[in-house]
Each structure stands twice: as structure tokens, then as C-alpha cells.
Structure 1
Amino acid sequence: MYGCQQVLLNPDKELAAVLEFICTEANNLMNCGIYYARQIWFKRRRIIGKYDLEKEYKNNKHFQALYSQAAQQALRTVSESFKSFGGLMKAFRKGMVADNPRLPKYLKKGGLSAVSYPKQALKIKDGQIRMPLGKLVKTWFKIASFFIHKPSNLSFKDIKELRILPRNGCFYAEFVYLLPSVTADVDSSRVLGIDPGLDNWMTCVSNVETSFIVDGRKLKSLNQFYNKRVATIKLGKAQGFWNEELASLTERRNRQMRDAVNKAARVVINHCLQHRIGTVVFGWNRRNKDGIELGKKTNQEFVQIPTARLKNRIEQLCEQYGIQFVETEESYTSKASFLDNDPLPVFGSGPEGWKPSGKRVKRGMYRTKNGEFVNADANGAANILRKVEIQLGLDLAKVCRAFLTAPSRVFLWNSKKTRTKGRGFSPSRSILLESPASLHFVRGQV
């Protein structure tokens, strides 16, 4: 299993010019490859082969401006995208994919694309990594290579690939490295159910007498501020308007989202390791954001929260620590009463006249058949466990009302403990994220 670490580069003018040049050449080369691959499809209805683009463009000036292996990686990225398109076309014809796939489109003219260097192209010198340039660059500018600092927490022998990523006016060095295998002391019969949401980004309930909520209101606030600033700046401007201020705002917002995803995923994994939980069940309805109609405001909040990326990050960490990750659909989990053991049909196949015995009476409050009140999202998380109870052979006897009523609340960014009443029925205990998860970014000097 491989991991990635991104380092924000602070290049001087000379290095910034080199980075911008190679990213521009990579963008131009990829557009050349896309053009050729599209023509092959239009004329012959054939998907381009893995090495066809390299043979076609080995004498191209954009190819020769890049280091040969970096140029090959750029063209293989194009061929892989067309290969994926071909696979989706086959799946669409068989009725396995709902939407008709489209051919890969051209990249923005004059834009910047990522440049990848495999390990064998890299050399270490005085604690810096040497990255070679292409033949034409050596001829034109008399520059053979450039250097970037190696992160102190990575060994050079562990690095498998290095990518230069241009994003919103910034350059990042992304180091791909082999993650060490981790043997965790976990038990697969111990399970954690996760119900994703908005104010409560993740509500987690286990069968080992624990429950907690990862707060999502700060995330909504960050998105709201970003959208308000973007709307103000774009007011009265032409469609497609973009400037440095918008790029800076977008980059800041994206970093905050990545930080939140990493911290929230680490909260879940640390909880699993602490309580020897060996199975994580994530409730997820595929395509749940397509054509959603929750109102203009809620639509914006729901669609922009990166819950899918959070799910993928939790899955990656589960794989690293040997924890089983299970994804299940979550239809009727919010309506059905866990304590009353209501049936949980699959969406679209429920029995005629099905009605839950309990009811969600207000935001955060669920009333059971006997008039008992529990946290609505905790009730949903427990029902997600019931969805796979028989399939995984789970024992949910310890999931009781006590842990569905007042789950602990985890704040990802708070600097001090606070006790919040919350909206509706949410008598949750506040918990600090005591040791922040390792950030996705390491700021470095070049």
C-alpha cells in the first residue's frame, strides 16, 4: 500500500519559472495525446494502446522539453483515461452504468498539468532531490536539472515517485512512498457503524458500548464563507471570471477540506484501535448527490461537503491497519426505530404499507414506540449496523438506549473545550481532538 505526502513549495523566481515551464509543457503534450486518441476513436472506433502515444510523439517538441520518463508518464495518463472510457462504454452497453460516458476532453489551453518522475529518474545530493529536465531545455536554457528539499520524515529509499502538482497559483511536491505494514490488535466481531450527515458529519455507534459524533458545523461555516466571498468577487463579472484572489480563496478552502478529511478519518481509526474494533460499516447511498433537491441552501451545503473523500480516506486507513471496511446502503435507517427492531427493507423493495414504529419529531430527536427519546443520527448509525448484522454475524446486544441518547461530540478545530447545547435534541458531551491528526501538508522551503 502506498501513501502520499504533499509539500508546499516556496520557490524563488528562477525555480518558479522552471516549474511553470515543465507543467505547461506537460499540459501541451497531454492535449496532443488527447487529440490523437480522439481521432483514433472517431475514425476507427478503437481505444488507443498503452505505448501508441509514446511512439507517435517521441519527436514532438513538448515531449523532448520534458525528461523522457516524465513525458511518458504524461502520455500514459492520457491512454489510461481512454482505457477507462472504453471500460465504461462496455459497462454502459450491458446496463451496468446509468449514464452514457463521454470521451476525455481537452485540457485548458495554456494551463498547467502535473509532472510525474519515477524513482529511477531521481537522485539525492546534499539532502536535496535532483530532478532532470529534457534535452531541449538543456539546449535552450543550459539547465540540466533542478532541486527540491527532501522531507525530513521520509527516507529517500522509500520514495517511489515524485510529482509536481500546480494548484491555484501554488506548486506542491507530492512524494509517493511505500507505507509500512501495521499489525493492529483488533477483533472483527467488534464493529463501528457510521452515519454521515451535515451538522453531525459522522455519527458513530459501536457494539462495544461507545458512541460519538464528529461535528460538521465548522465545515459548513467554512464553505459558507468561501461561497459568500466568491459571489461578492464575481458580482457583475463575465462568466468564467477568475483572478488571483479567487485562486487564493479556493486553495485555502481546499486545504481546509483536506485537513478536515484527514483529521476526521484519524478520529475514527484511533477510536477503533483504542477499543480493538476490527470492522467499520459506513452507510452510503451511491449517486446520492445526483439531482438532489433539498432546497438551494441545503443543496449547496450537502454537495460541497467532501463526505465521499472522507469515506475513501477511512477505507485507506482501514486497509493499512488491517480493519475490515464495509459499505452498505442506508435506506430507511433514519425512519426505522432501532430499539423497536423495525424491519429495514432495501430502497424500492419495501413491503407495501410499511410504517416505522417510531418517529423523528424534530432535528436531532427520535421518539421510539414506547415514547423514549434518543439521538436521531445515533439511531440511524445503529440501524446501519443492523443492515449487515446477519451478513457479518454481528452481536448488537450491547447497543442500547444509553449510548444512543448522548453520544460524545468531537470538534476538529477547537482550541479549548466548550459545552454547546446544540440545535434540537442533542445532549452530547464535548471532546477535544487531543492530538491533531498528521496534516496533509508539510510547509517546506526551496
Structure 2
Amino acid sequence: MKENKDFNKLVIFTIMVTMCLSAMVLLPTASADTINVPSDYSTIQAAIDNANPGDTIIVAAGTYTEDITIDKAITLQGANTGIPGDGSRGSESIIDGFITITGDGATLDGFAIESTFTSGGVVFVDIIANDVTFQNNVQTISTPSDCGGSTAVRVQGENGLIDSNWFEWTGCLRNRGDSFVFVDDGSDGTVVSNNDIIGARLITDLTATDTVTFDSNTITYDTSSWDCTDIIFVGGPAPFDGTLIMNGNTANGQPFSHSVRRSSTLHFFIDFNDATDFACNNAGLVMKDLGNGHFIVVNCLLIQDAIDAAISGDAIEVVAGTYNENEITIDKSLILTGEDKSTTIIDAESNQYGFYVTADSVDISGFTVTNFASHAVNLQDGLNSVISDNVFNPGIPAISAVQAFSSVSNVKVTNNEMYGVGVAAYMG
């Protein structure tokens, strides 16, 4: 009898478990919804407020005069979603207002953004969140003549993607500080790619851990009526050491591509005279990126700044002029070339050295090094360096033109003019 009771219990338990599992199968599962504007909600903001993370909001063509805040991981699709800003687009979903994005993982795709304002210092699209995608949009800004310090898109979060947009700025005659894309301090992993930028520049602040990529962007503008003529400004309130990667970009039809680790502020120009004027009149660090792995340093700058900004394997070409520098430290593999050895002059100002080399594969040519108290070139360490076609004339009592220590090997010192000094090698 007891066995029958146990069997009945087992049957009842089995039935209960089966019923519970069946109930679990019948429970509804959460799924992403699609919300339509204006059929479901008359405004974009109302649709955002009623959406859940993962939802998609489809906005029909038309004009929506409103400021919007995207505060969750949702996707907003305009009438031209998936179509690049320079592509063949149909009627637009137009947002006439300002946009703030505070939701991590949000996407804004396929809109036209139209903005008009009356004074400077305005941010039209402010991306504060991480992992935000802003793509396939057309943004046009009509401004007064004084629009200083305004920004079309500011990126403050990490890992943002600004891709395949068309940015056009009209009416601004005073552009000091204006930018279409401002990549702010702390926006590590941001990629700005495949954008057409008309009428403003790119600006980025890099911190010690930031890596920002500018890839395949096209910048077009007329610098004749502008206060600033640089195409990219890399700066910050203090010297940092971020990484700026530039590939396949063009400005007014001229290519510029380079990867830069910076230790202070950089300005990138497409016009050499603009770079020279800015350097001499503003005392900033300004270099011309030739787009082929070369930097140009102009008079009024420090050669050391160019070396610090370069990466191993770069070539730095120094135009004629007098550079009052001493102990110029070369700590990476570089080719350093003066425009003409008789007119590209390094004045060591009675200090010990002209160049101080601690790296392998350093080439130095085309300079006059003068007014050095010990050595024009001090080779402390490294292999396979070449010191050629220079003039070493201390003008004051000195020890040698080139000094090499025992850790240095396979160095070529050729075709140099030496006055009152020779070459010293220490083998101990």
C-alpha cells in the first residue's frame, strides 16, 4: 500500500513540474519595438520618452522643429538611413534644433539637421555618452559673421563613430575655435571617418590615454576670410601624450595622413605660408604635414618639438633659418635633413651639444652646427647612424665635432666640414 502512495506522489510531482515548465514556455518574452513618428507619436522627443533600450524609432520625412535628448540605447532612423551624406538622398527627416545624446549605445542615422543661431560658442550636437554612432546625416549650419567657438558635433564619450556625414557651414567669417567635429578630452577610441566637411575644421583634445582616428575625411574651405587657417588643431590645456591617427584625408584637394603622438599643441596646415605666419606671430607649435610621412618645420619653431611629435621612421625636413637650440635630443629612429647646410643653422648658444643621440638608425644631414662648447653631435648610444654633409664650426673652444661612446657602432661620419675640431671615439 505504501508503494502505491509513493507512486501517486511521484505522478503528482511529475505532473506539477510539467505544468510549471509549460507555464514558463507560455510566458511572453521582451522584444525590441519599432516606433513610428509621426503616426505613433507626433514628436521625436515623445517617441524617445516612450521607447525602451533596444527599440528603433523610424522618423518619416518632414520637418521636426524641436530640441531632442536621446537618453537610452535606441536607434533613430531618418528617411535616408543607410545613405551617406554625399549619396543620392530622397526627402529628408529634418531636425531643426539642438541634439544631446546621453544614452550609451545610441544611434542617429539618416537625418538632416538644420541649425541657425545668432552668437558664438554653440554646440549643436553634443555626444556625452559612450559607444554612440552618428552616421549618414546631413548637417547644415547658417551662422552670423561672428560665430567664434561654435561646434557642429562635440564628442565627449568614448568609442564614438562619426561616419559618412555631410557637414556644411555657411555665413561664418570669424572662425577662431570653430569646428565641425570637436573630439573632447577623454574621448578615447573615437573614429571620425568618411565625412565631407565644408567651411570649418577638425579639433581634438588628447589626453595621455586617448587614441583618436581621422580616416578618409574631405575638408573644403576658403581660408582667405578666416582668422585661423589650420585644418586640424590638436591641443589641450597642458602637454599630453595622446595618439592621433590620420589616414587618407584630403583638404582642398591635398592629401594629409600621419600618425602623431604629441607632447604639446599641434596645428596642421595645408598652406606652408599660413604655417609660417602662425608660428612666428603666435609662438605656437606648428608643423606642416606633407602627407607622405614627412613633417616640415619652419623658422620660429623648435626642431625638438618636431622630433617629440614624430614617431620612429619619420623624416623631418627643416627649412633654412637659425634655430637657437642646444642638446636637441633624438631618441627614436629619424631622418633629420636641413634645407641647405650653409643656411640651416643650429646655434647651441655656448651650451655643450648641438645634437644628443640615443637611438639607432639616425641620419643627420644638411646643417651648420655652431657655438657648441663640447660636441656638435654627441652619440651616446645606438647603431647604424649616419652623420653626413654638415658644417661643424664651434666658434668657441670645443672638444670635437662628433663624439661616439663605446655603445655606439657602425656609424658613418662622411662629407662633413669641420673647423677647429675633429671626431672623438671612446672605446672604454
Same fold (TM over 0.5): no
Flag the structure with larger Rg: 2
Q: TM-score of the superposition, structure 1-length normalised? A: 0.21
Q: TM-score of the superposition, structure 2-length normalised? A: 0.22
Between Structure 1 and Structure 2, the one with more strand by share is: 2
Between Structure 1 and Structure 2, the one with more helix by share is: 1
